Structure 1
Amino acid sequence: MPEALDWTDRVLELEVGPIAHGGHCVARFGEGPGRVVFVRHTLPGERVRAVVTEDGGGAFCRADTIAVLRAAPGRVDPPCVWARAGGCGGCDLQHATPAAQRALKTAVVREQLHRLAGIDADVEVEELPGGPLGWRQRVRLAVDDEGRAGLRAHRSHEVLPIADCLLAPPGSLPPVLAEAFPPGAEIEVAVDADGAQHVDRGDGAGGPLVQWAAGREWRLSPGTFWQVHPALADILAEVVGEWAAAPRGGTAWDLYGGVGLFAAVLAGQVGPGGAVTVVESSRRSVEDGRAALADLPQVSWQVGRVERVLGGLTGSPDVVVADPPRKGLGRAMVDALCGRAPDRVVHVACDPAALARDVALFADRGYRLAQLRAFDAFPMTHHMECVALLTR
């Protein structure tokens, strides 16, 4: 049996190929087809020197760029000193202009749909208002063994004791980063729509976070999920409402519904004579959602995992809105939904690969991809948000 390769700490000179899902580009090193190297902090078409950071001995290894020998159009100097080899794991694309970042993300979502669903989608990742910095309304910090809060290194539990994060609203993090915390703790810093800052030290203390979206106020308990980009909740509500088109007096399901952002829109469409059912596993989110939508008696709530609750829901909905976790819906859930034969499914996804797999599963059950939009809701990172409309 041949000895396993281990190139860890080896420096390679690479011709960089296309962007891949996950914030890295693909290169090859060696004779013939070469061994695959997933390399960060680079752009397609560049020639770089990179150090291997992780090697499991298989068909590929991972590397970080340490020198750019030939730069590609769209490269800029990262605004943050931690966006480098061995640095913070949060940002993947600070070395590219915002337009170049969106082009890279567009290439990723198109490639995933082509490879996993056999669909050539004419989709472009769209810019959101507010610019590439200062947009992140909620930041989760880790605490090292010395009680210092910071962010984790890429693919590591190591905590970097940073002085600030440029993605957070200016001035929000330095006072918190100057504090001492219990080692191993996790701290969440959030800025709400009124500009008030909230620091959740894991004790649930502090007043509610106020957010505005879909034409109403939401008062959220500490730790309750809300989109981190200030423009995204309203944009998603608008797109979901347009594509759901729930009929007056009809039935709609809002699965993985959180506090009911989409349920609020669906309730306006079905009216007092219709019915909207929200399924959400977080009791805290359901409590906040019930309070926010107390004026909408057509909205009912089911607390529990969607996979367990769905079988107990009666009837066939006219439309289903699903915003599952990063792993997507999966075969069992797609089969269960298609068995109820909704006219439309609006699928909200934060992972283009999971979305593409789900789209392929829906196609096997007779649903086609009718509409697709993608949003650059996480500038400087490889992440994006997609919304897909599937129709029978």
Structure 2
Amino acid sequence: MSESTSTPRLTVTVGPVAHGGHCVARHDGRVIFVRHAIPGETVEIAITEQGEDAKFWRGDVTSVVEASPERVHHFWAEADALRAGSRNAAPVGGAEFGHVSRTGQLALKTSVVREQLERLGGLSTEAIDALFGAGVEDVDTAGNAEQQAGLGWRTRVGFAVTPSGKLGMHAHRSHTILPVQEMPLALPAINELRLWELDFTGIDRVEVAAPANGSGVLVLLAPIHGLSEKAAGAAIKRIARSLAALETAPSVARWNPENSAIEVINGRGWVKETTDDHEFRITGDGFWQIHRRAPKVLTDAALGYLLQGGYLNDGADVADLYAGAGLFTAPLADAVGNDGSVLSVEGSPGTSRDARKNLHASEQVEILQGRVEKILGTQSRASQSAAGQRRHFDAVVLDPPRAGAGKAVVRALVATSPSAIAYVSCDPAAFARDVKYFANAGWKIEKLRAFDLYPHTHHVETVALLVPAAKATITE
């Protein structure tokens, strides 16, 4: 949110970190969620959201009175709250922890995961200590200097466009679009396009996908809604010509964010992603893990839990829920062999079509598109009518979107009586809430790891092994 000279400013001492990328401060008994601060600091903040009846206010740091030892110079000028505050402006979102040292970021994220598991998940401090002693793990320790600094990791980036046609990003919780001249978190292949030098007049959104294997970049262009077909077509052709002139030209496609439809302009409408053992086709804006190392880190952790526990073996019956294009489905199929079976469930029609292409040679894989809870219910009913009992899974990989699985999915999943569930989550609050649902159904966390797959942001990825503990029912 852009500020003005009339924006109220306060000096506060910052309290603990909270989920969502901010810290908690208090002023005259009122709670203020402060972004771009570090616990223990004394800072001046600009109030960005307020109201006499509001439960809490929000604010951005504009200057630091007493700094934390973990505070560092922000690596990205456009995302630096201090530089933005000095000119009564707001920083772009997307790097809200860029002012914190890398070790400090890991500590903050560890605190958030612990707090969510205790407050929402109902776990005791002792249980969390036993499960999560390692805290959030850095995945970039073996990279080059830039990667070790948490830069150059994003394989996918979404941009907005300013009213004047410049590439931009939104300020936090704001419709204001601020121009950008770089994206340090992105892979070099994205920055090398130098999109900020182009005129994007007529375009509303720009999505860029750059596989970590270097197999070719895809640029998706979404015209402004309501723009005439003639104007939209002219804008896309103009930008496509500019990109085609680059030494390493990307593929370019017109994109409709509402239904994910694409029209290829140059090159192809998909990218090729690879892991150690598999190749995947991802069409348009189809889902793929953002961090360049995330596919390996997450499959090693999730399938490692299931393999070490003896839940995956030749002939096993397993499920991959919210399966995407098949990142987990493919290695699951390898693990169970031709005598086993893998149920792959994905809600997005386009991504489900990608999964069918990626796994067409794996006869043991059944791919179904639809809502997870409905498909699980159908599987249970079909099994009951055919064999007199519900379908039982030896193992399940559960990788829901940021909102989590939710009570209905947990209930439907527990009804299939799996032996173990590897739960992959990108949101600690949603994960902790689901942990409570599983606990109420007689399940427990047996193992837990967390990975910093979103350096310089507040996001964190967790992987847990859930196993049955005792019979119970899900309660409100």
**TM-score tier after normalising by the smaller chain length:** over 0.9
Pairing partner for 1:50 from 36, 45, 52: 45
Higher deviation after alignment, 377-386 or 139-148: 139-148
SS of residue in 2 equivalent to 1:72: coil
Mapped to 1, the partners of 2:155 and 2:277 lie a distance apart of 19
> Is structure 2 residue 442 aligned with structure 1 residue 366?
yes
Q: Kindly provide the amino acid, as one letter, of the partner of residue 152 in structure 2.
A: G
Per the alignment, residue 24 of structure 1 pairs with 22
CA contact (8 A) 1:46 1:71 kept: yes
The Cα of 1:273 is off from its aligned counterpart by 0.8
Q: For residue 296 of structure 2, what is the aligned residue in structure 1?
A: 234
Q: Report Cα offsets for 1:182-229 as digits up to 9, x if no partner.
A: 445211112113323221114232423121115112122221111110
| Matching of residues 34-49 of structure 1 within 5 Å | 34-49=29-44
Aligned length: 382
Q: Tell me the amino acid that sits aligned with residue 213 of structure 2.
A: D
2:85 matched residue in structure 1: none
1:339-359 per-position Cα deviation (integer Å, ceiling 9, x unaligned): 111111111111001100100
Per-residue deviation, 1:83: 2.0
Which consecutive unaligned segments of at least 5 residues does structure 1 have? 1-7
For residues 93 and 135 of structure 1, the distance between their equivalents in structure 2, rounded to whole angstroms, comes to 15
2:270 is equivalent to residue 252 of structure 1: no
| Alpha-carbon contact 1:244-1:319 (below 8 Å) kept | yes
Post-superposition offset of 1:60: 0.9
Note the 1:77-156 alignment, pairs <5 A: 77-85=73-81, 86-119=90-123, 120=125, 121-122=128-129, 123=132, 124-129=135-140, 130-131=147-148, 132-156=150-174
Q: Deviations over 1:211-257 (max 9, x none)?
A: 11151121222211111101011111111111223232121111110
Q: Say yes or no: does 1:62 pair with 2:124.
A: no
Instruction: Please tell me whether residue 159 in structure 1 is matched to residue 177 in structure 2.
Output: yes
Task: Say which SS state the counterpart of residue 117 (structure 1) adopts.
Answer: coil
- Tell me, in whole angstroms, the C-alpha distance in 1 between the residues paired with 2:442 and 2:371: 26
CA contact (8 A) 2:373 2:412 kept: no
Is residue 342 from structure 1 mapped to residue 418 from structure 2 by the alignment? Answer: yes
**Cα–Cα, structure 1 residues 171 and 261, in superposed 2: closer, same or farther, change >3 Å?**
closer
Selected match of 1:15 from 13, 16, 29: 13
Which residue of 172, 186, 197 corresponds with 2:205? 186
Distance (whole Å) between structure 2 residues aligned to residue 330 and residue 214 of structure 1: 32
d(CA) in 2 for partners of 1:52, 1:183:
34
Are 1:321 and 2:406 matched, yes or no? no
Say if 1:112 and 1:38 are closer, same or farther in 2 by CA, change over 3 A.
Answer: same
**Secondary structure at the counterpart of residue 113 of structure 1:** helix
SS in 2 for 1:172: helix
Equivalent residue number for residue 71 of structure 1: 67
Structure 1 stretch 174-183 or stretch 74-83: which is displaced more? Answer: 174-183
Deviating more after overlay: 10-19 vs 312-321:
312-321
Corresponding residue of 1:285: 351
Aligned partner of 1:200: which letter?
Answer: L
For the residues of structure 2 that align with 1:291 and 1:274, how far apart are their CA atoms?
20
Q: Which has the higher helix share?
A: 2
Deviation for aligned residue 1:171: 5.8
The one-letter amino acid of 2:71's match is R
Residue of structure 1 equivalent to 2:218: 198
In structure 1, C-alpha distance between the alignment counterparts of 2:93 and 2:212, rounded to whole Å:
27
* Structure 2 Cα separation of the partners of residues 79 and 155 of structure 1: 22
TM-score by length of 1: 0.94
Shift in Å, 1:179: 1.9
Is the deviation greater in 34-43 or in 287-296?
Answer: 287-296
Q: In the aligned structure 2, how far is the partner of 1:58 from the partner of 1:160?
A: 28
* Conserved? CA contact 1:15–1:45, under 8 Å: yes
* Pair member with larger Rg: 2
2:370 is aligned with 1:304: yes
User: Following superposition, which runs of at least 4 residues in structure 1 exceed 3 angstroms of deviation?
Assistant: none
| Separation (CA, whole Å) in 1 of partners of 2:139 and 2:199 | 35
> Of 282, 288, 296, which residue of structure 2 is paired with 1:220?
282
Give deviations 1:58-115, integer Å, cap 9, x for gaps. Answer: 2210001111111111110101112233111111101111111011000000110011
C-alpha displacement at 1:386, in angstroms?
0.7
Structure 2 unaligned segments of length 5 or more: list them: 1-5, 82-89, 141-146, 223-253, 255-261, 384-390, 469-476
Could you tell me how far apart the structure 1 residues matched to 2:78 and 2:324 are?
A: 33
Aligned residues with identical type, % of pairs? 42
**CA RMSD of the aligned region, Å?**
1.6
How far has the Cα of 1:260 moved from its partner? 1.1
* Distance in 1, Cα, partners of 2:300 & 2:275: 10
Greater CA drift, 356-365 or 174-183: 174-183
* CA-CA distance at 1:150 after TM superposition: 1.1
Deviates more, 1:50-59 or 1:364-373: 50-59
Aligned residue for 1:91, secondary structure, equals: coil
Alpha-carbon distance in 2 for matches of 1:274, 1:209: 30
- Cα distance per residue 1:129-179 (max 9 Å; x no partner): 233111111101112322222111111111111111111123623522222
